[in-house]
Structure 1
Amino acid sequence: MGWLVLVSLGVARQAAAEEPAAPEGRVIDRVVAVIENQVLTLSELEFEARVTLVQLGGVRAAEAPLDEQTLQKALELAIGHRLLVAGADRLQAFQAERSEVEARLRSFRERFESEPALLGFLARHDADLEQLTAVLERGVRAERILDSRIRLRAQVSEAEVRRYWEEHKATLGGPYESVRDALKEKLVRESYRRLAKEELDKARASARVRRVAPFAREALP
């Protein structure tokens, strides 16, 4: 399966029943990766990357060209989320509550100045509200799965917080009691991020993932 080939035969057959056939020889989309027999295309990856940018508050940045580093990071996140959700599906576990997904969708909407602006964003990326909701729902489920695995392990002890303060008190300023809560939050956040990366790396390492696009095959640091 090459970088500039048509979507795989199996996917093309499925899509043929829903959409008019493209002219023979026309590139419909570019395959970026195959994740446990599930094809991920460039258009899907770019849309998911832009959704993430919007969630982070970068509505304008989401309209800018995506460089390879951004696509690499988006790809690894997309692979990890798909693998986590696929594992949960096999166990029929960690379904997303409708209220959670609706709250995430409302938050996404609020990033735009108006509903037409949101719909324009979707139209520019050949997507609709259903596709957006699916991306957001997968993110909610992946986060719940990760949280169930690492939330307790990510906690830090009072001794760890004080040790960090002792090592950095010259730059932190103020007595320990005045910065303790902020330091604990910072250390828990860093621990959570590290453990989440480890879980995603573990999921990718034990799965059948074929990276097809040239940028996708480059190892991330």
Structure 2
Amino acid sequence: MGSPRGRRAKMGGVVGCLVLMSVSAAGQDTGRPTGAEGQVIDRVVAVIAGQVLTLSELSFEARVVLVQRGGVRAAEVSLDEETLRGALDLAINQRLLVAGADRLQAFAAERSEVEARVKAFRERFEDEPALLAFLTRHDADLEQLTAVLERGVRAERILDSRIRLRAQVSEAEARRYWEEHKATMGGPYEGVREALKERLMRERYGQLAKEEFARVRADARVRGVAPFAREEGP
């Protein structure tokens, strides 16, 4: 199934999809506060373990993920509240995982892995001026971009260390699934074996990730401030 680093990259994609599954081009763009003198130009979205997250920060992080998942054009769509809520979930989960690792002085990001992530992000753009223009539009710079990408790398490594082994799918499990669904599997077991095991592992990893995020957030101090960031009551 490939190298451990390759598996981490694939599972990282699962995590990203979990939190930004729906990106809508419709709706009012609430992602970039604007204003003149005497007006509010940014807003607090949430307080995460004592750290303030502003709307401009959240908007930028959402657009970074959109570029990673869908390309440059996807980063220019309006950010409706559903998209911002998904981005906020990612921001909270990553920050809590990294904060826990910081307390233990663990899971430092490998420089080469961060550089590779930055390089891949750069390659989404036509050239360096296009990248810099994107950053300027969103009041960010290369240092801020690198910090966002590094946090993502660390969060993925931390999560992977906790659930990757439990997400493994045995031969017996894969074959049993095939036996139960072979009428719709499109071929003999040996022909679909690798793809089936990969799919089942991704599904299990996604479920375990949700459970781990819930566990991490259960004891954390997270307060939503923006209306879309507040949890709905029963």
TM-score, with length taken from structure 1: 0.86
Once residues 117 and 25 of structure 1 are traced to their aligned partners in structure 2, the CA distance between those partners, rounded to angstroms, is 32
User: Is 1:72–2:82 an aligned residue pair?
Assistant: no
Aligned with 1:156: secondary structure?
coil
Q: What CA deviation, in whole Å up to 9, does each residue of 1:87-125 have, x standing for no partner?
A: 111110000011110000001011111111111110100
1:31 corresponds to which of 40, 44, 51: 44
How far is the alpha carbon of 1:208 from its aligned partner? 0.3
Instruction: Give the corresponding residue for 2:53.
Output: 40
User: Is 1:198–2:198 an aligned residue pair?
Assistant: no
Once residues 100 and 57 of structure 1 are traced to their aligned partners in structure 2, the CA distance between those partners, rounded to angstroms, is 21
Residues 224 and 231, structure 2, Cα contact 8 Å, conserved in 1: no
Once residues 167 and 213 of structure 1 are traced to their aligned partners in structure 2, the CA distance between those partners, rounded to angstroms, is 47
Query: Identity of counterpart residues, as a percentage?
Result: 80
User: Is 1:93–2:100 an aligned residue pair?
Assistant: no
User: Is 1:138–2:165 an aligned residue pair?
Assistant: no
For 1:105-116, list aligned pairs within 5 A.
105-116=118-129
User: Is 1:169–2:206 an aligned residue pair?
Assistant: no
Q: What CA deviation, in whole Å up to 9, does each residue of 1:3-24 have, x standing for no partner?
A: xxxxxxxxxxxxxxxxxxx998
Once residues 181 and 129 of structure 2 are traced to their aligned partners in structure 1, the CA distance between those partners, rounded to angstroms, is 49
Stretches of structure 2 lacking an aligned partner (at least 5 in a row): 1-34
Q: What CA deviation, in whole Å up to 9, does each residue of 1:8-49 have, x standing for no partner?
A: xxxxxxxxxxxxxx9984313111000011000000001000
How far is the alpha carbon of 1:171 from its aligned partner? 1.4
Residues 154 and 195, structure 1, Cα contact 8 Å, conserved in 2: yes
Instruction: Give the corresponding residue for 1:54.
Output: 67
Once residues 58 and 114 of structure 1 are traced to their aligned partners in structure 2, the CA distance between those partners, rounded to angstroms, is 14
Residues 119 and 128, structure 1, Cα contact 8 Å, conserved in 2: yes
Q: CA RMSD in A?
A: 1.7
Residues 57 and 111, structure 1, Cα contact 8 Å, conserved in 2: no
For 1:8-23, list aligned pairs within 5 A.
none
How far is the alpha carbon of 1:160 from its aligned partner? 1.1
Instruction: Give the corresponding residue for 2:116.
Output: 103
Instruction: Give the corresponding residue for 1:128.
Output: 141
Instruction: Give the corresponding residue for 1:187.
Output: 200
Aligned AA (2:54): T
Aligned residues: 199
Aligned AA (1:35): I
